[in-house]
Homo-oligomer: A and B are copies of this chain.
Amino acid sequence: MARSKNTQFAVAVHVLTYLAGMADGGPVSSDELSESTNVNPVYVRRVLGPLREAGLVRSRPGVHGGWELATPAHDVTLARVWRLLQGADPVLGLHGPAPDCPVGRGIQRSLTALDSAVSDAVAAELERFTVHDVLMRQIEQPAKPAGG
């Protein structure tokens, strides 16, 4: 697939869910978060940066510092997190640069349009769930064979 090894979205959702579970336990350090997610604390801070810019989380340095939610978990859709971290990248992988022959360019235009359509489909699916849903395990395996 196009979207290969980037785990930022997964880490972000994991952390947000963890913070939602902690509720009012005060700020959580990136060190503690790194233990739950099994990734490096520096990486946690890097991933959380854009989420803080967007107002989803707060961070505070110092002795009793750390991270906490700045928005209720049921107000944070996964689509929002997705767009913040990976919305710019194409879901399908496009090839190219632009080929020489005009036929090839026409095909590439179609592929670009297709990528937009698929990206929207992904976003629409992620719009259905919030961090609160993840915390409550409300995401079920789809039983349908990808048709509908």
Q: Are B10 and A111 in contact (CB under 8 A)?
A: yes
Q: Does A5 contact B (CB under 8 A)?
A: yes
Residue A76, interface by CB 8 Å: no
Closest chain B residue to A8, Cβ basis:
B93
* Residue among A119, A135, A146, A147 facing the most chain B CB atoms (10 A cut-off): A146
* A18 proximal to B (CB < 8 A): yes
Q: Contacts A129-B114, A134-B110, A139-B114: A7 and B94 contacting too (C-beta < 8 A)?
A: yes
A residues near B, CB below 8 A?
Answer: 1-11, 13-14, 17-18, 21, 35-39, 78-79, 86, 88-101, 103-104, 106-111, 113-114, 116-127, 129, 134-135, 137, 139-142, 144, 146-148
